[in-house]
Amino acid sequence: MKRSNTNTFLLELPLRTDAGQAKRIAAHLEVGRGFYNNMLGEARRRLARMRNDPAWLLARTIRSKSERHAAYNALRTRYGFSEFSLHRYATTQRVHWLAEHLDSNTAQKLASRAYQAVNRVCLGQAKHVRFKSRGRGLDSVEGKSNTSGLRFTLQDPTDGNAGFLQWQGDRIEARIDWHDPVVAHSLRHRVKYCRLIRRRASSERCQGADAHGYRYSVQLILEGEPYQKPKHAPGSDIIGLDIGPQTLAIVSQEQEARLITFCDELRPNARERRRLQRRLDHQRRANNPEHYDEQRRCKPGRKRWKESRNSQKTRQRLAAQERRLAALRKSLHGRLAHEIVQIGTTITIEKTSYKGWQRRFGRSIGLRAPGMFVEHLKRTVAKTGGMLREVSAFDTCLSQYCHGCGCYVKKLLSQRWHHCPCGIGPVQRDLYSATLLAFLPQTSLIPFMAPERWAGVETRLTLAMEGVQQRASGRVSVPTSMGISRERARQRKSLAPTRQEPSLLCYRRNRVEALVPA
């Protein structure tokens, strides 16, 4: 039977859990952790047996794609390495007391998660899988439908419009704000299935947290279109985005030109993080002196680590700091994606390996997560019916191209300004690349821009760099990849012409010369 492909969106509601319900949910999740590890181990064993078969090596030598695909499918069928085969195995393992904690739908979903993890190893997309350890284990479970097992029910409006999550005999009330238009719109749609999520609260005294400092919520997977806020109405302009490890250049054909720092509001407390990491290391060494030699070096081999209560609290404080930073980053990504969509929904970016950036720009990538932002932007654009196009940087070479003379001149990564003898420039490199992306035709890899069109775009790019200059001349530091430092900005600000100059053209020429890097 073919699955129906309908539009889907999410709604998350907090849950009101008492002490007894929180204790039972924690027991269910702990049993789910062990059940998931069992499914993961079984999937790994089936994969190992399949790879050790000589027919696997023969299948790798087949050149025909269809024949090779048929050979691999035959091996998967022979050794039961498929999602539905693992579902049948999960049904045989959910016996005795396990059935008191896990229903059949939840058990099959855990089997699906285990198969997907091991299948990534089979396809070469991952090197190994990770088992869930005690204390850092399973924090979410989900069902397959909203008719049995883990399900969400909504009472009649005459009874107060209350919603409840029902699972294994517990009926947990959800906090619903009916004055929120997003919630009111979402609950009018059909619930496909629901997901129970456990998160660590910022403190044990946080509202809604249980005795162990956890908060519970339910995610409803709904059928239909999400609510569109009036302030997030999509625009109609064509946009080019040049995404870097720290910066983002936004240029549209008609109205926008900005060079901003990616998630500039992120301010990690590096000093507090280092202090907690040092304390955690000291506590680990004090609790496990047998694992270190006389020179305080860790001994090789497999070890069993002991952890004190104070070290657990330190680790939880460190995790809470990272959790708050991740929540702020996700919020900033969403706000920036909505700001871009308000300008236009036809967006062009360069196809980039953000995973490859981690080796060279690891700290910036770990803090700002540009790849996660691109995925968020794709979902937002798809929701509005727009189009986000990714072009190959190897084929277009926009950072080396000049639209004035049509020449390609290779630039070093440290060269942050584009200045061509044909008269184009000087203009900041990221802004110019975003401009070429905005004017890149759908059927060509060479951007086209009329000379009279470039005059207006150049003015917008100059004004965008003036904004960067004002930030750098103040107390706000900007990344060096923008091509302007704080000291240079102060020098250029002192060399800038005054308002008493009679000619606007002379003012514009002097201002552009002042922006040329030394």
pTM (two decimals): 0.81
Sequence-separated (6 or more) residues with CB below 8 Å from residue 324:
202
C-alpha 268/C-alpha 436 separation (Å) is 34
Q: What is the pLDDT of residue 449?
A: 84
| pLDDT for 505 | 31
pLDDT, tens digit only, all 518 positions of the chain: 446 678 899 999 999 999 999 999 999 999 999 999 999 999 999 999 999 999 999 999 999 999 999 999 999 999 999 999 999 999 999 988 888 999 999 999 999 999 999 999 999 999 999 999 887 778 999 999 999 899 999 876 545 568 999 999 899 999 999 899 999 999 999 999 999 999 887 655 566 677 778 899 999 999 998 898 888 899 999 999 999 999 999 999 988 899 999 888 888 889 999 999 999 999 999 999 999 999 999 999 989 999 999 999 999 899 889 989 999 999 999 999 999 999 999 999 999 998 889 988 998 999 999 999 999 999 999 988 899 999 998 888 898 999 888 889 888 888 889 988 888 878 999 999 999 999 999 888 888 888 888 988 999 999 998 888 887 776 677 888 888 765 555 555 444 444 333 333 333 333 333 334 44
- Amino acid residing at 503: S
Diameter of the chain measured on Cα atoms = 90
pLDDT confidence of residue 207:
61
Phi, then psi, of 193 in degrees rounded to 5:
-160, 175
pLDDT of 76 reads: 95
- Position 228 scores a pLDDT of 87
Instruction: Give pLDDT, residue 474.
Output: 67
Helix, coil or strand: residue 15: strand
- At 399 the three-state DSSP class reads helix
pLDDT of residue 4: 63
The strand pairing partners of 219, in sequence order, are 12, 195
What is the reported pLDDT for 512? Answer: 36
Whether the bond into 447 is cis, omega within 30 of 0: no
> pLDDT at position 510, please?
36
pLDDT at 208: 64
Amino acid 159: pLDDT: 52
Helix axes 451-473, 486-495, angle to 10 degrees: 110
Q: By the 8 A CB rule, do 361 and 236 touch?
A: no
Predicted local confidence at residue 480, as pLDDT? 83
How would you class 433 by CB atoms within 10 Å of its CB: exposed for 0-12, middle for 13-18, buried for 19 or more? Answer: buried
Q: What is the CA radius of gyration of the chain?
A: 28
